[in-house]
Structure 1
Amino acid sequence: MGEAAKSINQGGLGIRRIRDVNACLLLKWWWKIGTQINSLWRRAICSKYKIDEACWNPPVSFSYKHSRVWKDILSIGNHCNNIFNFYADNCLKNDFPLLFNLLTDKDGSLHQYFDRKTSPNTWNFPIRRTMFSWELEEEASLIEALSSAHSVSPHEADCFFWACATVSSGEFFVSSIYSFSNSTLGPHLPICNHIWNRAVPPKISFFCWLAWKNKIKSAEFMLRIGILDPSVSISCTFYGFESESATHVLLHCPFSWQIWSSIIHEWGLSWCIQDSVDGLLQWWMRVNFNHFDRLIWRAIPLIVLWSLWKCRNECIFEEAQPNISDLSETIKVRAALWLKANIKDLPFSVDDLTFNWRQIRAGNSNL
């Protein structure tokens, strides 16, 4: 699924990855096994599969005698370290392997190790021989790490704590581990908030997402993927001077450029045409206005991109003729209707948004 499986803030469509969702649900059972120690279902599982009830995590090996569900739970537990880092990257046995190999009580609880302390900063680790100098250095690093860790409550029982929890309780939630796995797919992109603008219908935002990813079905794109026959003309629908790429039909075509220039002129601005839809949106985001002006301004490029593409389709499928003044008025009407419907307490009427952009901008500049 690639791009589509990323969250909307990461530049995707937020489509959930079913395999990962299933893994998160199975990992929830691992959490329950470690936390619901006295539950009846846990005792029944331990009795059936000969598991020590005092063990937080069951052994991950299984045989043909195990049920399919239990095999899936054990299987995800066996592989979760690779999939979700369920056991955390900074596990002490991984960070200090030399000391871990020397320990005689590798399965000891935190409470047992705490009882061995002779002073606040002196940990008596049970080791099988005298340590060498390089091992002493690792011990010093471990003690330093322990001293900087959260305080220990010796009178409370050891328990699981979910480090990725969104609340301080440390409770495990499927949503939290899925969000954690999502965070590894890429950083949040500010431009996505611009594209998925609530002031326009979702289909407009989706089209602009496709344009941003350069995936709209232009003639050049259709030829490249083999949909169009090589003998078919892929000239620009509006003027026919160049081949119809997504960037050309939405930005660089003289017809499209005049539309963009007329819209920007209405706002009293000057601009230099950008080399891509991404560049256009990035430039648009950098222009700052007051509250309502900003809401209107940020919706305009989405409406213009949609209107240019819709006009292009009308020219191809309905044999319409491109007209700059007609399309400019259509853009203003669409903007007025959508903005008035979707922006709460917008202080402008539909007529103001249709016919008086320059006056709206000038009036707000004097506020």
Structure 2
Amino acid sequence: MLQGSLKMLLDPRLRDLVEIRDSSYNWPLTFRRHLFEWEKEELLRINGILRGAPTFNLQVNDLALWSAAKPCQTLVSIFYNHTNLALGPNVIFSRWVWINYLPPKVQFFGWLAWRNKVKTLVFLQQLGILDRDSSTLCTFCKSQQESIEHVLIFCPMVWRVWSELLQWWGVVWVVPRSIQGLFQW
């Protein structure tokens, strides 16, 4: 959290969040918990980016402005369109993730899976949240590393569920090789 948490400030302005020392800006970022090593590295990187930011006039009120915005366009639709443009050929996957008749939590989980950001044991160990000595074996089968591909596609227990579900629907399919392949199905 930032010092003078944004939640506590009703109308936060940059001048409320920055300290000026010898004509340079300092962003006093404080947090509620101790940071992991990878978070400390990210914080140093963010501070470097902020130090390289253009100077700004603290006497003028600031406001958030997205130059790609069109009148009456929501921020969510702007980010969605921007993401699709930036991803190029992956646009097809994002269309499969954001299916309107799915509950929002399912859509969000699909998006996390598509971006390979589901918090599997392997992912948590890479972030440093789990110790290097912790087991990353799949919770269901205990035979493979718990990666997103394994949990959603290749785990024998999950495969049994997929098979029963697809048989019930009367669908025949071939196992996809990746999460993206699952979305193209």
**Structure 2 unmatched ranges of 5 or more:** 1-56
1:141-290 matches, cutoff 5 A: 173=71, 175=73, 182=82, 185-187=86-88, 189-283=91-185
Q: Distance in 2 between matches of 1:256 and 1:236?
A: 11
| Contact 2:96 2:184 survives alignment (8 Å) | no
- Cα deviation, 1:249-295, whole Å, max 9, x if unaligned, reads 11100011111111111222221111222111112xxxxxxxxxxxx
What TM-score results when the alignment is normalised by the length of structure 1?
0.29
Q: Distance in 1 between matches of 2:109 and 2:125?
A: 20
- Cα deviation, 1:54-100, whole Å, max 9, x if unaligned, reads xxxxxxxxxxxx99549x8xxx9xxxxxx96xxxxxxxxxxxxxxxx
Residues 270 and 175 of structure 1: CA distance in aligned 2, closer, same or farther (over 3 Å): closer
- Cα deviation, 1:298-339, whole Å, max 9, x if unaligned, reads xxxxxxxxxxxxxxxxxxxxxxxxxxxxxxxxxxxxxxxxxx
Residues 257 and 230 of structure 1: CA distance in aligned 2, closer, same or farther (over 3 Å): same
Q: Distance in 2 between matches of 1:279 and 1:250?
A: 12
Report sequence identity in percent: 36
The structure with the largest helix share of the pair is 1
Aligned residues: 124
Residues 270 and 165 of structure 1: CA distance in aligned 2, closer, same or farther (over 3 Å): closer
Over the aligned positions, Cα root-mean-square deviation in angstroms equals 3.8
**Structure 1 unmatched ranges of 5 or more:** 1-65, 77-82, 85-163, 167-172, 284-367
- Cα deviation, 1:196-250, whole Å, max 9, x if unaligned, reads 2222221111011101111011011111111111111111111111111111011
1:1-367 matches, cutoff 5 A: 68-69=59-60, 173=71, 175=73, 182=82, 185-187=86-88, 189-283=91-185
